[in-house]
Chain A
Amino acid sequence: MYQNKVTFRRADSPKTYTLPLSQFSVKDRAFILAEKESGRLSIAAYTGSQQPKVAPVKKVQHHLVASQQIDALLGKYRKAQGSEAAPIVDDATYLRRAYLKIIGRIPTHAEAVYFLNDSNPHKRATLVDKLLDSPGYVSHNFNLWADILRARTTGRDGSRHGGVYYVPWLKDQIRRNVPYDEFVKTLLTAEGYPWENPAVAYYLRDFGMPLDNMSMTAQIFLGTQMQCAQCHDHPTDVWTQKDFYELSAFTYGLKTGVNINSQESPELKEVMRRLREISKKQHGGQAPQAQTASPYSAGREFFDPLRWGVIHTKRNLKLPHDYQYDDAAPKDVVAPTVLFGNLADKNLHDSASRVDSYADWMVSKNNKRFTLVIANRMWKHVMGKGLIEPIDNLTDESQADSPELMKYLESVMQALDYDLKQYLRILYNTQQFQRAAVLDNPDLDNDYYLEGPIFQRMSSEQIWDSIATLMVPDIDLKLQSTYRGNQGGIQYESSTKPAAAIFVEEMNPNELTKHIVSMSEVYNAYHAARSAAAKANRDPELKGTPELAKIRQASNHARKEWNKMLNPDLNDYGIDAQMGMNSMMTGTPPTTNQRSGKKKPKKKWFEKNVRRASELQSPQRNGHLLEVFGQSDRMLIENSDDGGNVLQALFLMNSPQTNIQLANHSAPVLEAHLAKTPEEKLETLYIGFLARKPTEAEIEALLPAFKKDPEKARQRIIWAMLNTQQFIFIQ
């Protein structure tokens, strides 16, 4: 399992040689691993997989002046408060923290050894740059944004509402380090279908609830929680209900959901009309009902994906019928008006231009809130707590711990034109980031004075990713680019247009109608079999008989046949299935939404296709380790939890993973096998699991047993390390 072989070739010959790592001397081994760590040895090319490129951060020196300025302002603040700066942490502490905070996992043994032994005086800054450029950065930041945007690949949100397209797209945006203002504008102005424009999943996420969606937008990007104002004047903040509606009026013209029987979908309107006629004729002049078998209903099922998109309409927002305030009457049409500032472009004549103006206003440099919120949010991402808390419930009275620092951070964000990676780089290079972590009691209001970053538990994803790191080499390279979802029998897959969409592009209404009618036989058979099964199921005489089993089987079979019709092989129709979308296959099987027995996933945990949390379903199902450790269910914004519960403790104590697999097959263990002395072995384990060397006291306590019965001692030591609190907390 562990890649302990090296392939090399001489400079003058194409022939390659592969030897186990153990055949090299310790010095050579160290050299090879160091070369790999410093990036001069390319592992990706060796395995032959194609990794998408991560946009590197600009290694500009003068930006680091900003880091110094931040430290200076912090010093000024602390002096005024009479608080002391926490001391700078040692290398081992810094190492673990940097890896966890920048790329979301603990360092591998090789990475740790490399850093700890590096004598470069600027190694911390070098490490920051290296980590920012790595694929782990994408994985870690994806978790953050998926939580904020509630991006899901499961259920309806994953399939119909475009999750399988949205999630890879989000990762791509992070990978390419798209400027934040551009990213937000793309989200807010999105329209169309998710396979052509994945950003529409932002609106589809709150399908049919445009006002709720507007609340989300205000919360995420303006840091304002207006949802109270949806129904009445905000009780504690300045927003009135009318303000809320006036802002919502900008995007109200956008509709989630396309009526395929209307002009909203001109191609299909004609097809559905014809199908309705045909169905009528077949049913003796009666209009077809929604769910009885008819060409019309077959058409509705087949074209279902085309009902879930975002389009502009002419509809206007009206105040609710029970509007109770004096400044307007119930059901008045609302004119779009911004909460503060001015619109740059006063062109509001139709939905598209309204949305455009609104998006421009939102991301404009004149919108101070927009900058403040993201600057504060990224500060929290780095330091554990925002300068203003809560980060998305700001009011006019909200004050930063250090207003001067907050202002400075806003100016930096603007100066960087919303380059988030560079902003993070500046923060990671401060002294502040290197200070000892400070306790912040959640029950007390004023006990934190920016002495250092906040002491916190690893997030659920960090825990999972760290365990994965211990088991799987090059875990950052095991990417998932393809998700699958299923709704109503239709398969949705990343980078792939649903068949219905392709058919509509390639065929005219006549051909489409004919195609649907040609499926009638299978469709009718499916309906009949389903009814027969329902009837047979309730027949008490058939209970438990082989006849019943046969009928059920027939129904399943008919369902499968119909599903084949819903998801045709395009080649059969002479349609080129290539979409021109970049489908990056990395050799790992696509993540599907299919329900599998709960027992199965647990068995397969640490086989070769274990991946980081960002590469799994978003979110994970109940019972999965990620959920047990508190992963957000992505139903509410940033809904994750970092509390403890009994199931976590039971897993850490009693699972086969912590008792057998990690104790016997993890990477540090395999490294330890190569070490010669018990002292070296012990040190290897400590560095692999806790990213530090054992203390004198620990050596004294553990070495004797280690010498006596190394196997048993090793299992015990590893178990103990995994069950410490220092393992799951970030110092």
Chain B
Amino acid sequence: MFDELNQLDELSRRKFMQYSAKALLGVGLSASTTPLWASQTVKKPTARNVIYIYLSGGMSHIDTFDPKPDWKDQGPVNPIDTNVSGIQFSEYLPSLARRADKLAIIRSMYSNQGAHEPGTYFMHTSYVQRGTIKHPGLGAWLNSMSGKTNSTLPGNIRIGGSNNAPGGAGFLDSKYEPLHLGSPEDGLPYVDRHHSVDEIEMRERLAMAQMMDLSFHQKYPAKQVRAYGDVYDEAIKLMNSKDLAAFDLSKEPKLVRDVYGDSRFGKSCLLARRLVEHGVRFVELTLGGWDTHNDNHDNVAQLTSPLDQSVSALLDDLHYRGLLDETLVVIGTEFGRSPEINGNAGRNHHPTAFTCVLAGGGIKGGQVYGSTDASGHSIAENGVTVPDFNATIAYALGLPIDQVVYSPSGRPFRVADKGRPITALF
């Protein structure tokens, strides 16, 4: 049933079988899955990788991608034309405006989760947060359902953001938990051999540990123990991997680093491109601070600066390296902000209408999907729920959207719950 996926280039067939077998074993997949899934959801995937840019706090939609120049509370920001006739952005996004031909702007997002934690959770998992189960994020789903392309780097990496961010492995095997890098500049911790140890000594030591464990392994041939053996193998492969260079930003020429910008977010975008180049399939970046209850315009102007510069650089870079067609770039946020300005020159949470953006990975650029009313309050047409949005990403990746997967506690879940992909975007 994963024949379509088998046709992907560069997927090590053996690795793929290994991973999908492991994924299926732990998962309640019955051979008699309803034929529904065959109908429209699995097609030849257009995207192999995802770079997910998460704007945490709730990005104000009418001050960025969905300007409302005739609305009384638009505030001190003007719309500008983009390089696609008929589409305008706010003046805070000049560089992205010049690349609107690559973007699909979904202006009709809506949800009923108006608080940060539940909203972020919903955005990352397509499920409403419950105290009793953790749902997997798209990176974990992707890796569990169709494996990694590269055998030495982790297939799911998160840069920045908080410790308890949702959208990790959830109830899937913990090996799908994203590798979390606190900062784009630090790289993987302890990935180099200790300076006092050369390769020969390292081998001696590993052999000695094996020797000490001989009778232990015989006495306790447990799955968990063997799993540690695998983990060590993976770690050593990683240590010796040439792909580790992906984490070293100094390998980029200064010119490129300048184009992405000096900010932490800029560096994260650059790192994300390098990781994707080296075969990492899902990279999530976080840019925070969008919760502009006070001084909305001052703050949004400040926040859009790295967003505009670095995402433009990323799109250009991916495009010129020929990676944009297979890399889906996502800009997501948990909700929008109120069209009304509050007493602190700020905007409050607004989940009833907001904007998210998709680019690359088979998405048709230069289009706007859906629209809001004249003030940006509510959806005018083609509303897109959060599960629909995630289903679209899953669709691009060729994941089986209708397949029911059971958690260890026996509850049924899907990659994007009941979301339907927006095929018009492709």
Contacts and interface: CB of A to CB of B under 8 A. Distances in A.
Given A291-B293, A441-B223, A650-B188, A725 B216 contact: yes
A567 to B, nearest CB: 23
A290 interface: yes
A660 B196 contact: yes
Interface of A: 206, 209, 212, 215-216, 219, 225, 227, 236, 289-292, 390, 393, 437, 439, 441-443, 455-457, 531, 534-535, 537-538, 598, 621-623, 627, 630, 633, 635-637, 639, 641-651, 653-656, 659-660, 695, 698, 701-702, 715-717, 719-721, 723-726, 728-729, 731
A724 B216 contact: yes
A219 B132 contact: yes
B418 interface: no
B177 A645 contact: yes
Nearest to B134: A636
Contacts of B182: 598, 622-623
Which of A236, A534, A655, A717: most chain B CB closer than 10 A? A534
Nearest to A441: B223
Contacts of A641: 174
B25 A291 contact: no
B231 A538 contact: no
Given A291-B344, A623-B180, A215 B132 contact: yes
B213 to A, nearest CB: 5
Nearest to B224: A457
Contact of A439 (B132, B163, B213, B220): B220
A437 B221 CA distance: 12
B23 to A, nearest CB: 14
Contacts of A538: 298-299, 301-302
A443 B205 contact: no
Contacts of A439: 220-222
B320 interface: no
7 contacts: A215-B131, A455-B222, A636-B133, A653-B194, A654-B191, A720-B205, A729-B220
B209 interface: yes
Interface residues of B, number: 73
Given A538-B298, A653-B236, A698-B211, 18 more contacts: A206-B131, A289-B342, A456-B224, A538-B301, A636-B131, A637-B131, A643-B173, A643-B175, A646-B231, A653-B239, A716-B201, A717-B208, A720-B206, A720-B212, A725-B228, A726-B216, A729-B216, A729-B220
A669 to B, nearest CB: 16
Nearest to B238: A646
A649 B163 contact: no
Contacts of B216: 724-726, 729, 731
A726 B132 contact: no
Instruction: Please give me the 3 A-B residue pairs with the lowest Cβ-Cβ distance, nearest first.
Output: A289-B343, A649-B235, A622-B163
A442 B130 CA distance: 25
Contact of B205 (A621, A645, A647, A716): A716
Given A289-B344, A651-B189, A655-B190, A726 B213 contact: yes
Given A649-B235, A654-B191, A724 B213 contact: yes
Interface of B: 25-26, 130-134, 154, 162-164, 173-175, 177, 179-180, 182-183, 186, 188-194, 196-197, 201-202, 204-206, 208-209, 211-213, 215-217, 219-225, 227-232, 234-236, 238-239, 293-295, 298-299, 301-302, 342-344, 346, 409-410
Which of B191, B213, B219, B235: most chain A CB closer than 10 A? B235
B379 to A, nearest CB: 22
Contact of B343 (A227, A292, A653, A654): A292
A644 B191 contact: no
Contact of A651 (B180, B190, B205): B190
B343 A291 contact: yes
B390 to A, nearest CB: 21
A52 B188 CA distance: 41
B106 to A, nearest CB: 27
B163 A729 contact: no
B174 A726 contact: no
Which of B190, B220, B302: most chain A CB closer than 10 A? B190
Contacts of B232: 649, 653, 723
Nearest to B180: A622
Contacts of B205: 716, 719-720, 723
